[in-house]
Chains A and B, each alone.
Chain A
Amino acid sequence: MDLIFFPDTHPFDPDKSEAKDEGGDVGKEIKGLSKYRQDLYLRVKSFLKALKKVTDIAPYLQNKQIFKFPQKYDGLYEMRIPKQEKGGVFRIYFCFPKTDLQTLILLCAELKQKTKPMKLDNALIKLKQYREDENKEVHNEEH
């Protein structure tokens, strides 16, 4: 399984930003963890390493470490690392490309310390944007 960032929408300027800015929102949040929550950073890394090895996320869905939103959310998923912990849970929202079930597109992430997810709306905006780009690519390939 490939785990790919969905980059920020602003055009990349090599003079102003690092290449890492292409890590988008998830990259930014992970960088934040690496500075202020190294324990959680490492837990996230171990989780992603294990996730990378599978070709089917069914076991994660069964044990609810990954949650699939209802159909109206157009294929939006959420992973929680760890699933429940007082010290905070790192949520990553992601989706699969329509034609490739071996790639996870990481849309956005948040360190959840409160009950309410704060970035769900953001994730939905990015998902919509991703699907539009995806449809454009398919359209271009057809013509």
Chain B
Amino acid sequence: MKNINVLDYMDSLEKEDKDLDLFVKMYEALSSFLTDFDFLKDSMGLTQKDVADKMGTTQSAISRIASMKTNPSYKQLQKMAEAVGGELLITPMKDMTAQVPYDLQNKVRELAKGENKTTNEYLDKVIRDSFQSKFEWYEIKTIEVNKVCECSTAYGSDLGGSKSNSIIEFEEIQKKYLEVDSLAIAR
């Protein structure tokens, strides 16, 4: 049985249908907001009517936004987020923004509390620490590569002949870095 991933399938539908592709690109951020909004609303056991009351609007106004029939204003988005106990974030740096999966959010809040930090402060620290350790590993390896470059035998021993072990080693390490870099860029 061939396993077909549903999200890959949806991507392929969008590739084939320009109108759909345009629609998805245009409204992806709003749809993502509504997914998070629904999750918070349902987690708090609220109805659209409860949210509307908190916002000082009507249930049908919320329903129209939820079904993407009208484009909400910035103020409406902000009020919707607040009504379900959240905060609004808008950024043009989508590729640099990650979200904690729903099943880990309570754990992250607990850990942040344990360190006397806000959730954002805690996440900033975790991200920085994680990347810092990657950078340190990268720097150590870079020094090793530089040493290979500085070694007098690296290029001198067999000019015009077959490659020395040092050069081969250097090229292998360089190749690995290129792979690591391209993976990082892809992510």
Interface residues of A (CB under 8 A from B): 2-5, 7, 20, 22-23, 26-27, 30-31, 34, 38-43, 45-50, 52-60, 62-65, 82-87, 106, 133
User: How many residues on chain B are close to A (CB under 8 Å)?
Assistant: 41
Chain A residue with Cβ nearest B22:
A38
Give the CA-CA distance A1 to B151 in the complex, in Å: 48
Whether A38 and B23, one on each chain, are in contact in the complex, defined by CB atoms closer than 8 angstroms, is yes
**Cross-interface CB contact of B5 among A3, A53, A55, A58, cutoff 8 Å:** A3
Give the CA-CA distance A63 to B46 in the complex, in Å: 10
- Pick from B25-33, B133-141, B156-164, B170-178 the stretch touching chain A: B25-33
Whether A58 and B103, one on each chain, are in contact in the complex, defined by CB atoms closer than 8 angstroms, is yes
Considering only residues 37-65 of chain B, those with a C-beta below 8 Å from chain A are 38-39, 42-43, 45, 48, 63
**Cross-interface CB contact of B66 among A56, A58, A82, cutoff 8 Å:** A82
| Interface SS, A side | helix
- Known contacts A34-B20, A54-B103, A133-B1: A23-B34 contact under CB 8 Å: no
Chain B residue with Cβ nearest A62:
B43
Q: A42-B27, A48-B10 are in contact. List 9 more A-B contacts (CB 8 A).
A: A4-B5, A5-B3, A30-B6, A42-B23, A52-B7, A54-B104, A65-B38, A85-B63, A86-B67
Give the CA-CA distance A57 to B10 in the complex, in Å: 22
Interface residues of B (CB under 8 A from A): 1-7, 9-10, 12-14, 17, 19-20, 23-24, 27-28, 31-32, 34-36, 38-39, 42-43, 45, 48, 63, 66-69, 99, 101-105
Give the CA-CA distance A93 to B105 in the complex, in Å: 26
Chain A residue with Cβ nearest B34:
A43
- Known contacts A38-B23, A63-B42, A85-B67: A30-B28 contact under CB 8 Å: no
Chain A residue with Cβ nearest B14:
A34
Q: How far is the CB of B2 from chain A (nearest CB, A)?
A: 6
Give the CA-CA distance A5 to B12 in the complex, in Å: 15
Whether A7 and B43, one on each chain, are in contact in the complex, defined by CB atoms closer than 8 angstroms, is no
- Shortest Cβ-Cβ A-B pairs, 4 listed: A63-B42, A53-B101, A39-B68, A54-B103
Whether B4 and A5, one on each chain, are in contact in the complex, defined by CB atoms closer than 8 angstroms, is yes
Q: Across the interface, which residues of B come within 8 angstroms of A133, CB to CB?
A: 1
